[in-house]
Amino acid sequence: MGFRFYLLAILISLLSTSVLSDLILSKVDRRIDLTSQIVRITTAIKVENTGSEPVSEFLLAFPEHQAKNLAYLTSAANEGKGKVKDSTSSLPIEAVDLNGMPPALSFYSVSLPKGLAKGEILTLDVLAVFTHLLRPFPEKITQADIQLMLFEDSAHYLSPYEVKVQSLSVKLPDARIEFYTKVDNTKIHGSEIKYGPYEDLPSFSYLPIGIHFESNQPFAVASELVREIEISHWGNVMVTEHYKLIHGGAQSKGEFSRLDYQARPNIRGASAFRRLVAKLPPRAHSVYYRDEIGNISTSNLWSDSKKTELVIEPRYPMFGGWRTAFTIGYGLPLQDFMFESEGKRFLNISFGSPINDVVIDNLIVKVVLPEGSTDISVSAPFLLKQRQETKISHLDLVGRPVHVLEKTNVVPEHNQYFQVYYKFNKLSMLREPLMLISGFFFLFVACIVYTHADLTISKSSASYLAKQQWDEVQTAIEQVQNIIHRCLAVHDKLEASLRDLSRTGDVQACKAARKSADVLLKEVSKELKPLLSFLQSSLPAAQIYPKVEELVAKEKELQARLMVKHSTVVDCYEKKSGGRDVEKKVAPQQLKLTALRQEVDDLLDFIDEI
């Protein structure tokens, strides 16, 4: 047993006198449920007023280690014969500070429905729900080990009042129990341990007990859950839930073997959980599940008229201390959750997580209302932190109001309905359709104007004139290039006539080819003169004209040397000279012709690039 429990017992023994002697507890029946990670203590208390004055409040006491993990506390009056009033008749409870009490105890005051007069008896049903109260022992285990939990409490009901008769029953998840404290009147039946009955207990009676037991239940803890509930008055409520999940049980140590786990998951992975079950509203639609890198994990969905059930399997089995993050999203029909009252609309939806038995350390609920919503208020069955935000979405002008609700230490008992009230002008619903219609209208008008408008540049503008002059220069240059190509084609024909002469020896045919070439070149020269004059006088051609002029000069030089070569070869053949003598006379001329032809080709390529 922990040292703090012995210290607590000593402190409580100092207060064992009756603090509030007007009330006594004639019978107390406690039942502790340890079948999951959430500890639920249900207590039926029969309260009797033995004083002379009416009593309007009843005190509940919790030791420090329980009070700091108390997640949910409710009390209701029992009408007898097992009938309990509904949750709406739960009695008001608030934390109180009492003078003279040690800090190791925390007190809560229950307001009784009416003053309890002398001699009257009232039966109260109290439910206290705790998180993180079970302590893994040992704190670290291997993959093959089972998970053992340690629970510590008191066999006596801790109360500032005298207790006439009390009993305690502890329900465990399994019959395997490593250790439990044995005191008077202790019995065990399978997975249930019973303490008592104990009679005539003084106030603040405390008898420490501890139970060390096997528990391989899922210890799913959401360190943070962000629920975003977005309302659209066009008929849909979209819910998006972002989970950061951790296995809150005994930490896993050593290596993890996937092979051993798949072969014997109930032995080599008994402490891990493989799936989570989310119970969604009956008419949920557009359900999706994904983790941080997509929807590779397995998920299954079942739906009928009464429920929608989503079963999620993470990428890997969750062992102690392992973490994962994922998102669930689904849509709900607006008419099932939106109502009107006294000129206001209100959303009526559940607060907590739809996943079974998950503990949420920090829950943030963001209710995104339509743009233009005003006079926002919240009604919830428990205390919440509240703040306002703004969300900018598509087609928004000023943004949508977001009412943020935040609560720590959340358990399934908090999954109750809460209401968000607001005012909204129905005409505001036309804002987005009108924006879309206007946008498309102006787009079509712009297209019509564009297709019918004359967007050409004015013929009197300087830019238009400059472009026109440059087009004329380009045309002239193209004509010059064509003329040069024609000249080169004539040169090729002269070279061909010389090759025919060397093959046939027909001098007259070669002379006729020379005469025809002279006529063509003279005609081309006449065509070239006006073009060169135009380029020389044109301002836009000032940069390119020197290259054109050089091209024409090179071509004329090439033409002249080719004529000399042609005459030399013809004279040699008329004098009956040998082939070697012809080659010796022509060789220097041929080298120069080849170089000139290459320069002409290079100038043509350069002018093409310009």
Whether the Cβ atoms of residue 180 and residue 43 lie closer than 8 Å to each other? no
Amino acid of residue 128: A
CA distance 348 to 346: 6
Q: Strand pairing partners for 29?
A: 44, 167
- Mean pLDDT, residues 507-527: 85
- Mean pLDDT, residues 328-343: 92
- Residue 459: CB partners within 8 Å, gap ≥ 6? 465
Q: pLDDT at residue 436 above 50?
A: yes
Helix extents (H) in 419-461 = 431-452
Whether the Cβ atoms of residue 188 and residue 194 lie closer than 8 Å to each other? yes
Model pLDDT, residue 216 = 87
The distance in angstroms from the start CA to the end CA of the chain is 97
pLDDT band at 1 (very low <50, low <70, confident <90, very high): very low
Q: pLDDT at residue 577 above 80?
A: no
Supply φ then ψ for residue 440, to 5 degrees. -65, -35
CA distance 326 to 198: 49
Model pLDDT, residue 3 = 41
Residue among 197, 165, 145, 209 nearest 9 (CA): 209
Give the model confidence (pLDDT) of 43-93 as tens digits.
Answer: 999 999 888 888 889 999 999 889 999 999 999 988 665 454 444 578 999
Model pLDDT, residue 438 = 86
Model pLDDT, residue 159 = 92
594/583: higher pLDDT:
594
CA distance 431 to 19: 66
Q: How far is CA 107 from the centre of its chain?
A: 43
Model pLDDT, residue 81 = 53
Average pLDDT, the chain: 86
Residue among 134, 205, 195, 132 nearest 163 (CA): 205
CA distance 208 to 437: 73
- Mean pLDDT, residues 24-49: 95
Model pLDDT, residue 458 = 59
Least confident interval from 33-47, 53-67, 195-209, 502-516:
502-516
pLDDT band at 17 (very low <50, low <70, confident <90, very high): very low
- Mean pLDDT, residues 329-342: 92
286/521: higher pLDDT:
286
Give the model confidence (pLDDT) of 216-260 as tens digits.
Answer: 888 999 999 999 999 988 889 999 999 999 999 999 988 888 888
- Mean pLDDT, residues 28-41: 95
Least confident interval from 104-108, 170-174, 196-200, 547-551:
547-551
CA distance 191 to 213: 10
CA distance 544 to 167: 112
CA distance 604 to 485: 9
- DSSP-assigned states of every residue in 272-324: -B--EEEEE-TT-EEEEEEETTBS-SEEEEEE-SS-EEEEEE-SS-B-TT-EE
Residue 171, CB-side half-sphere exposure with 13 Å CA sphere: 12
Model pLDDT, residue 410 = 95
pLDDT band at 21 (very low <50, low <70, confident <90, very high): low
Give pTM, 2 decimals: 0.70
- Where in 322-368 does DSSP place strands (E)? 323-333, 338-341, 344-350, 359-368
- Mean pLDDT, residues 300-329: 89
- Mean pLDDT, residues 391-404: 81
CA distance 388 to 374: 12
Q: What percent of the chain has pLDDT over 90?
A: 43
Give the model confidence (pLDDT) of 443-472 as tens digits.
Answer: 999 999 888 876 665 556 677 778 888 888
367/466: higher pLDDT:
367
Residues in the chain: 610
Q: Which residue has the tokens 């006294």?
A: 342
- Residue 505: CB partners within 8 Å, gap ≥ 6? 573
Model pLDDT, residue 192 = 94
Model pLDDT, residue 432 = 73
Residue among 37, 202, 214 nearest 131 (CA): 37
Whether the Cβ atoms of residue 43 and residue 30 lie closer than 8 Å to each other? yes
Amino acid of residue 100: G
> b or e along 250-280 (b: 16 or more beta carbons within 10 Å of the residue's beta carbon)?
bebeeebeeeebeeeeeebbbbbbeebebeb
Amino acid of residue 51: G
Q: pLDDT at residue 378 above 70?
A: yes
Give the model confidence (pLDDT) of 117-146 as tens digits.
Answer: 888 899 999 999 999 999 999 999 998 889
Model pLDDT, residue 84 = 47
- Mean pLDDT, residues 197-223: 92
Q: How far is CA 348 from the centre of its chain?
A: 26
Q: 211 to each of 1, 149, 172, 422, 509, how far by Cα in Å?
A: 9, 8, 10, 51, 127
Whether the Cβ atoms of residue 270 and residue 250 lie closer than 8 Å to each other? no
Q: 8 to each of 47, 74, 134, 153, 488, how far by Cα in Å?
A: 25, 25, 18, 11, 116
Model pLDDT, residue 587 = 82
80/34: higher pLDDT:
34
Q: Which residue has the tokens 């510590």?
A: 152
Model pLDDT, residue 495 = 85
428/383: higher pLDDT:
383
Model pLDDT, residue 608 = 78
Q: pLDDT at residue 13 above 50?
A: no
Amino acid of residue 32: I
270/149: higher pLDDT:
149
Model pLDDT, residue 261 = 81
Structure tokens at 572: 């040699």
Q: pLDDT at residue 200 above 50?
A: yes
